[in-house]
């Protein structure tokens, strides 16, 4: 999940959404890309002021998403959900 907002960067809203996703039997991942005090995180052209930090967060999120995607794909083949 990617979030933005005030001091917490929208992370509190993301935590609430995790409960909804769990009820839908969806797997969420822990890593996020979050922009606390979003108005301070971007320059006048909309580019991140600290692109390396954004890239690290995005890479961690995408690596974890890839792992779960592969694991769930293999699990569905071996044992389809709900069957």
The span from the CA of 48 to the CA of 54, in Å, is: 8
> pLDDT (tens digit, 9 = 90+) per residue, 6-24?
777 788 888 899 999 999 9
Task: List the structure tokens of 26.
Answer: 């969806």
What confidence score (pLDDT) does residue 68 get?
A: 93
20-70 pLDDT per residue, tens: 999 998 888 888 887 777 788 899 999 999 989 889 989 999 999 999 999
Query: Residue 83: its pLDDT value, please?
Result: 65
Q: What is the 3-state secondary structure (H, E, C) of the chain?
A: CEEEECCCCCHHHHHHHHHHHHHCCCCCCCCCEEEECHHHHECCCCCECCHHHHHHHHHHHHHHHHHHHHHHHHHHHHCCCCC
Residue 77, pLDDT > 80, answer yes
């Amino acid at each position: 999940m990617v979030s933005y907002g005030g001091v917490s960067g929208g992370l509190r809203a993301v935590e609430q959404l995790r409960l909804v996703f769990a009820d839908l039997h969806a797997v969420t991942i822990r890593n996020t890309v979050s922009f606390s005090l979003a108005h301070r995180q971007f320059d006048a052209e909309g580019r991140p002021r600290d692109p390396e930090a954004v890239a690290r967060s995005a890479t961690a999120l995408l690596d974890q998403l890839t792992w779960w995607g592969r694991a769930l794909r293999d699990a569905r083949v071996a044992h389809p959900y709900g069957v």
